[in-house]
Amino acid sequence: MQLEEMGAFFSARADIYDKKQIENIGGPGLYDAAAGYLPGNTSVLLDLGCGSGLELERVFTRFPNAEVVCIDLSEGLLKLLLDKFPAKKLTVLQADYFEYSYPDCSFDAVISAESLHHYFKEKKLSLYEKIHRSLKPSGRFVNADYIARDEEEVIRTLAEYDQIMRNMGNPPGLYHFDIPLTSETELSLMIKAGFARASMERRFGNSAIFTADK
């Protein structure tokens, strides 16, 4: 098995992405609910792995005038996003959210949907620290993402990923593969990153919505 480079994986599927994604996660409920956990005063938002903006459709229903910084690797999905929201205040960056330097204390909230489950916990901790620093003092991180049932699933998945990458000769770069973590690990990473409070709010099939307050 060969893994595809992350941005290219999603761009190659851009024409069917929205329909397939909603089917895969069992309907739009996760997106409706995630927008509901943003703070009531959200006017400046950062979206990590925004894709075509499925979560933003719901965000704009609640906050039509929000300014959103949107980061994603996939050129194809970012094109869909720009077509969907021609009149919204978007800053769209085709970039790796691990590499991008976020301004400190700048966002009312950071949202991410169905994107962070592609990464190891060590990599996520440093990202959660950056998210924490980028939030205003009463800011909130809302992460709606695919999670693992238990540690056994995590260990199995990591071993599979390791084997595939070794077969591919461990190329540098980001490759598409799902590495969901357990809800316990997610919450402990948020607290380790400096958040004062973190909780799992709701489950939607294999996904869950987490909130973490600065």
Ligand X SMILES: C[S@@+](CC[C@H](N)C(=O)[O-])C[C@H]1O[C@@H](n2cnc3c(N)ncnc32)[C@H](O)[C@@H]1O
- The site for ligand X (CB under 6 A) is made up of 6-7, 10, 21, 49-51, 54-55, 71-74, 77, 96-98, 113-115, 118, 174
DSSP state of 116: G
Provide, rounded to whole angstroms, the least separation between the CB of residue 175 and ligand X. 10
Nearer to ligand X, 125 or 196 (CB): 125
Provide, rounded to whole angstroms, the least separation between the CB of residue 7 and ligand X. 5
Q: How far is CA 182 from CA 30, 52, 130, in A?
A: 18, 26, 21
Q: Rounded to whole angstroms, how far apart are CA atoms 25 and 28?
A: 8
Residue nearest to ligand X (CB): 51
Closest by CA position to 32, among listed 63, 47, 54, 64: 54
Nearer to ligand X, 10 or 141 (CB): 10
Among all chains, which residue has been given the structure tokens 């590495």? 179
Nearer to ligand X, 21 or 134 (CB): 21
Closest by CA position to 104, among listed 141, 133, 71: 133
Nearer to ligand X, 139 or 180 (CB): 180
Q: Per DSSP, which regions of the chain are E strands?
A: 44-48, 67-72, 89-94, 107-113, 135-146, 197-204, 207-213
Provide, rounded to whole angstroms, the least separation between the CB of residue 186 and ligand X. 16
Nearer to ligand X, 82 or 196 (CB): 82
Specify which residues 212 forms β-bridges with. 141, 198
Provide, rounded to whole angstroms, the least separation between the CB of residue 5 and ligand X. 10
Provide, rounded to whole angstroms, the least separation between the CB of residue 96 and ligand X. 4
Q: Which residues contact 196 (CB under 8 A, 6 or more apart)?
A: 213, 214
